Structure 1
Amino acid sequence: MPCSLRNKHVIPTIDDLDKYFGIKGSKILLRIDINSPIDPKTGDILDDSRIRAHSATVRELVERGAAVVVMSHQGRPGDSDFVSLDKHARLLEKHTGLQVRFIDDVIGPAAREAIKSLQPGDILLLDNTRLVSEEIIEATPEKHAESIFVTRLAPLFNYYVNDAFATAHRSQPSIVGFPVKLPSAAGRVMEKELTALSKLYNPEERPRVFVLGGGKVHDTIRILEHLHNNGAVDRILATGLVAELFMVAKGINIGEANLRVLEAKGLLSLLPRARRLLLRGLPLETPVDFRTLVDDHVEVETIGNIKGVIKDIGPQTVKMYTEIMKEARLIVMRGPAGVIEDPRFREGSRELVRAAVESNAYVIVGGGHLNSIIAELGLAGRPNLHVSTGGGALLLFLAGEDLPGLTALAKSAEKFFPQLIG
Structure 2
Amino acid sequence: MTFQTLDDLPAAQRVLCRVDLNSPVEDGTVVDNRRFDRHAETVRELSEAGHRVALLAHQGRPGRDTFVGLEQHADLLADHAGVDVSYVPDTYGEEALAAIRALESGDVLLLENSRMVDAELPEESPETKAETAFVQTLAAEFDAYVNDAYSAAHRSHASLVGFPRALPAYAGRVMETEYEANTAIASREFDGPVTMVVGGTKATDVIQVMEALGDRVDQFLLGGVAGELFLRAAGHPVGRDVDAELFDEQWEANGDTVERVLDEYGDQIRLASDLAYETDDGDRAEVAVADIDEKTTDYLDVGAETVADYEPVIRDSDAVFVKGALGVFEDERFADGTVGVLEAVAETDCFSVVGGGDTSRAIELYGMDEADFSHVSIAGGAYIRALTGQELVGVAELERATETGPA
1:278 aligned residue (257, 262, 273): 262
**In the alignment, what sits opposite 1:39?**
26
Displacement of 1:415 in angstroms is 1.3
Rate the CA distance shift 1:62–1:38 in 2: closer, same or farther, 3 A. Answer: same
Identity among equivalent positions (%) equals: 37
Alignment of 1:91-240 (within 5 A): 91-205=76-190, 206-228=192-214, 231-240=215-224
For residues 168 and 46 of structure 1, the distance between their equivalents in structure 2, rounded to whole angstroms, comes to 22
**In the alignment, what sits opposite 1:335?**
324
Structure 1 stretch displaced more, 94-103 or 319-328? 94-103
Structure 1 stretch displaced more, 69-78 or 198-207? 198-207
Structure 1 stretch displaced more, 267-276 or 166-175? 267-276
Displacement of 1:382 in angstroms is 1.3
1:301 aligned residue (271, 280, 287): 287
Contact 2:40–2:77 under 8 Å retained in 1: yes
Structure 1 stretch displaced more, 404-413 or 355-364? 355-364
For residues 162 and 398 of structure 1, the distance between their equivalents in structure 2, rounded to whole angstroms, comes to 20
Cα deviation digits, residues 166-222 of structure 1 (max 9, x gap): 110110110001111211111111111012113212342352211111212222222
For residues 375 and 57 of structure 2, the distance between their equivalents in structure 1, rounded to whole angstroms, comes to 23
For residues 280 and 159 of structure 1, the distance between their equivalents in structure 2, rounded to whole angstroms, comes to 48
Displacement of 1:66 in angstroms is 0.7
Aligned residue for 2:183, secondary structure, equals helix
For residues 134 and 246 of structure 2, the distance between their equivalents in structure 1, rounded to whole angstroms, comes to 46
Stretches of structure 2 that go unaligned for 5 or more consecutive residues are: none
Cα deviation digits, residues 233-282 of structure 1 (max 9, x gap): 22100112222222222234549887997654442542211221233235
**In the alignment, what sits opposite 1:357?**
346
Rate the CA distance shift 1:133–1:302 in 2: closer, same or farther, 3 A. Answer: same
Matched, 1:320 2:309: yes
Displacement of 1:226 in angstroms is 2.0
For residues 77 and 183 of structure 2, the distance between their equivalents in structure 1, rounded to whole angstroms, comes to 29
Displacement of 1:318 in angstroms is 1.0
Structure 1 stretch displaced more, 217-226 or 185-194? 217-226
AA at the equivalent of 1:291: A
For residues 172 and 26 of structure 1, the distance between their equivalents in structure 2, rounded to whole angstroms, comes to 24
Contact 1:72–1:128 under 8 Å retained in 2: yes
For residues 249 and 289 of structure 1, the distance between their equivalents in structure 2, rounded to whole angstroms, comes to 16
Aligned residue for 1:245, secondary structure, equals helix
Aligned residue for 1:29, secondary structure, equals strand
For residues 183 and 127 of structure 2, the distance between their equivalents in structure 1, rounded to whole angstroms, comes to 27
Cα deviation digits, residues 308-360 of structure 1 (max 9, x gap): 63332222211111001112122111222123343322212111110011112
Aligned residue for 2:220, secondary structure, equals strand
Rate the CA distance shift 1:242–1:189 in 2: closer, same or farther, 3 A. Answer: same
For residues 305 and 261 of structure 1, the distance between their equivalents in structure 2, rounded to whole angstroms, comes to 23
**In the alignment, what sits opposite 1:67?**
52
**In the alignment, what sits opposite 1:16?**
8
Rate the CA distance shift 1:287–1:45 in 2: closer, same or farther, 3 A. Answer: same
Structure 1 stretch displaced more, 219-228 or 387-396? 219-228
AA at the equivalent of 1:241: V
Moved over 4 A (4+): 253-263, 293-298
1:30 aligned residue (17, 23, 30): 17
Contact 2:32–2:76 under 8 Å retained in 1: no
AA at the equivalent of 1:381: E
For residues 130 and 241 of structure 1, the distance between their equivalents in structure 2, rounded to whole angstroms, comes to 32
**In the alignment, what sits opposite 1:78?**
63
Cα deviation digits, residues 79-132 of structure 1 (max 9, x gap): 222222122222222222222222121111222232223222111111111221
**In the alignment, what sits opposite 2:390?**
401
Rate the CA distance shift 1:186–1:278 in 2: closer, same or farther, 3 A. Answer: same
For residues 291 and 169 of structure 1, the distance between their equivalents in structure 2, rounded to whole angstroms, comes to 35
For residues 295 and 255 of structure 1, the distance between their equivalents in structure 2, rounded to whole angstroms, comes to 21
For residues 230 and 84 of structure 2, the distance between their equivalents in structure 1, rounded to whole angstroms, comes to 54
Contact 1:223–1:400 under 8 Å retained in 2: no
Structure 1 stretch displaced more, 239-248 or 324-333? 239-248
For residues 263 and 38 of structure 1, the distance between their equivalents in structure 2, rounded to whole angstroms, comes to 28
**Superposition CA RMSD, Å:** 2.4
**In the alignment, what sits opposite 1:420?**
none
